[in-house]
Amino acid sequence: MQVSVIVLAAGQGTRMNSDTPKVLHQVAAAPLLHHALNLAHRLEPARIVTVTGHGGEAVAASASAYSEAVETVVQDPQLGTAHAVAQAAPLLEGIEGEAIVLYADTPLIREETLRAMLEARAKHAVVILGFDAKDPGRYGRLLTRGDELLAIREYKDATEEERAITLCNSGVLCADTKTLLSLVAEVENDNAAGEYYLTDIVELARSRGLSAGVVLCDEAETLGVNTRAQLAEAEAAFQARARAEALENGVTLTAPDTVFFALDTYIGRDAVIGPNVLFGPGVTVESGAEIKGFCHLEGCHISRGATVGPFARLRPGAELAEDVHVGNFVEIKNAILDEGVKVGHLTYLGDAHVGEHSNIGAGTVTCNYDGVMKHRTVIGKRAFIGSDTMLVAPVTVGDGALTGSGSVITEDVPAEAVAIGRARQVTKPGLATRMFEKLKSIKAAKAKGQA
């Protein structure tokens, strides 16, 4: 079944009280828009068209950042949801199959829900996603008879009897692409708001002798984000769902409510995640790895059997092979750690490659930045880097080499060599006592003069 998806992302979102377009505010470390695009992508669609408006250039750039395959069109002026869908028509002309309309400010719709709508298309020409609302408020109402949808009535245009209905419209719909675009072309704006409502296509379809139906979902799926409070509510709902799915998939979360996932976080079965762990974008944790408490990870890959933390930070480009150990207060950025590497504590490895089974002592720093350029450090296999070593990049330490504790390494170290780069210690017996006595007398004289 060929599917095209239209994502409506033109709204201004004035209640967000922000200079940022509403759909670029983030839930789970990703713009709201990316949640809709991610959902669309799961359907393996033939086309994804995003309709932009307010902040259109920024929204279009964000859509392209998600995938260059996403096409964008501009709705200007913004005359309603049917008018927005009509802007996508030139890009969908001649496209066969189904069309689904999603909203970029509604991040919690499930893939299973959309697939249920596609299945319902076997019976109905137009399928609307509805929900039973605890407090219907100003949602559009679904007017039904049996399993037939007769009309969608916007709150502004509804009678008191219609407003008492609790079956509400989510806005998400599914129809044959050609049928949808032809129906949209017939929508008029003779309503209280003077807008072209997408909801009018139900009655227009029925006037052609076509049927319309409803697929129901849980109200929580349909949460739209229009305020900062709703943004926080969507974040909480996403995290609750992600934690439940991780547990169901065989991941151990020792304190689930303290773990925060990103939209694209992947964690394999039998991984263990400690308390107060935050996943930024682009993190993969393979099966059997352990992330201990209070770690912050983004843009990194952690292989089987690796352990990280507690209190570690992995930044973009960190690649940990199997059985790597990264301990407390270690930061890794744009660095590859081969199998069995140990980085115990209090270390920074940036722009580096560490060979298998090497040991990195406490306080080691790869000095990778000269104020203008970044430089790379290469450490070979089974090397031993002594505590408090400063590796001034670009520099290479060979296989089986050793650096003395406290060394500043500015030149390449050959394989199996020992490199010591520190000043010779000078010891002067009794000088400490004489110095302290002199300093105390100076301090006493100062105190007497101030008295």
Residue 429 lies in a domain: no
> Nearest to residue 338, comparing CAs of 323, 316, 317?
323
> Quick one: 239 and 150 in the same domain?
no
> Quick one: 217 and 288 in the same domain?
no
* Number of domains into which the chain is organized: 2
* Residue 315, number of CB atoms within 10 A of its CB: 17
> Quick one: 216 and 267 in the same domain?
no
pLDDT at residue 451, rounded to an integer: 65
- Structure tokens, 370: 């000269």
**Those residues with Cβ within 8 angstroms of residue 428's Cβ, 6 or more apart along the chain or in another chain:** none
d(CA 330, CA 415): 26
d(CA 23, CA 21): 6
> Quick one: 67 and 202 in the same domain?
yes
Residue 426 lies in a domain: no
> Quick one: 31 and 67 in the same domain?
yes
d(CA 355, CA 348): 16
Residue 36 lies in a domain: yes
DSSP 199: G
* Catalytic, out of 41, 345, 353, 357: 345
> Quick one: 278 and 408 in the same domain?
yes
> Quick one: 156 and 134 in the same domain?
yes
> Quick one: 37 and 143 in the same domain?
yes
pTM: 0.92
Place of tokens 């709201």: 32
d(CA 96, CA 20): 36
Residue 435 lies in a domain: no
Residue 157 lies in a domain: yes
> Quick one: 261 and 351 in the same domain?
yes
Identify whether 124 is a catalytic site residue: no
**Which range marks the domain in which residue 126 is found?**
3-222
Provide the H-helix boundaries in 141-259: 160-163, 177-186, 201-207, 228-248
Question: Per-residue pLDDT for the chain (451 aa), expressed as one digit of tens each?
Answer: 899 999 999 988 899 999 999 999 999 999 999 999 999 999 999 999 999 998 999 999 999 999 999 999 999 999 999 999 999 999 999 899 999 999 999 999 999 999 999 999 999 999 999 999 999 998 999 999 988 999 999 898 899 999 999 999 999 999 999 999 999 999 999 887 889 999 999 999 999 999 999 999 999 999 999 999 999 999 999 999 999 999 999 999 999 999 999 999 999 999 999 999 999 999 999 999 999 999 999 999 999 999 999 999 999 999 999 999 999 999 999 999 999 999 999 999 999 999 999 999 999 999 999 999 999 999 999 999 999 999 999 999 999 999 999 999 999 999 999 999 998 889 999 999 999 999 999 999 988 888 6
> Quick one: 277 and 130 in the same domain?
no
pLDDT at residue 307, rounded to an integer: 98
